[in-house]
Amino acid sequence: DARVTQTPRHKVTEMGQEVTMRCQPILGHNTVFWYRQTMMQGLELLAYFRNRAPLDDSGMPKDRFSAEMPDATLATLKIQPSEPRDSAVYFCASGWRGDTLGHNEQFFGPGTRLTVL
């Protein structure tokens, strides 16, 4: 049963601390997306990768957020330093795209619920 996995599922930290969230995309998928979900803003796209290369991170606060794919099986989202307004649920999703072909479906992980005190 192929699924996107995310760790940790829950994280409580104090303002100013570094937070790292991890995602393992579905094996064979070549696109990875990071989303943030809040009651006020809904689902916001933060960054996405294709074949491990970052294609767009315009949705991400550059001064404190960074996203990387060290290899095809791991994507990370880091916040440093964290602030209370970063409290949200962070989702990773994966899919498959070729240059001109491929589906638009994205498959979501269970999310990381982040609370910054």
Partner 1 sequence: GQQLNQSPQSMFIQEGEDVSMNCTSSSIFNTWLWYKQDPGEGPVLLIALYKAGELTSNGRLTAQFGITRKDSFLNISASIPSDVGIYFCAGPNAGGTSYGKLTFGQGTILTVHP
Cβ-based nearer residue to partner 1, 72 or 108: 108
Among 11-19, 65-73, 78-86, 91-99, which window interacts with partner 1 (CB under 8 A)? 91-99
Residue 108 binds partner 1, judged by CB under 8 A: yes
DSSP sequence for the chain: ----EEE-SEEEE-TT--EEEEEEPPTT--EEEEEEEETTTEEEEEEEEETTEEEE-TTS-TTTEEEEEEETTEEEEEESS--GGG-EEEEEEEE-B-SS-B----EE---EEEEE-
- Smallest separation (angstroms) from partner 1 to the CB of 81: 26
How many residues bind partner 1 (CB under 8 A)? The answer is 27
Which 43-62 positions form the footprint of partner 1 (CB under 8 A)?
Answer: 43, 45, 48, 50, 55-56
Residue 31 binds partner 1, judged by CB under 8 A: yes
**Contacts with 110 (C-beta within 8 Å, 6 or more apart), sequence order:** 5, 6, 9
Residue 106 binds partner 1, judged by CB under 8 A: yes
Q: Which residues bind partner 1 (CB under 8 A)?
A: 4, 31, 33, 42-43, 45, 48, 50, 55-56, 91, 93, 95, 97, 99-100, 102-111, 113
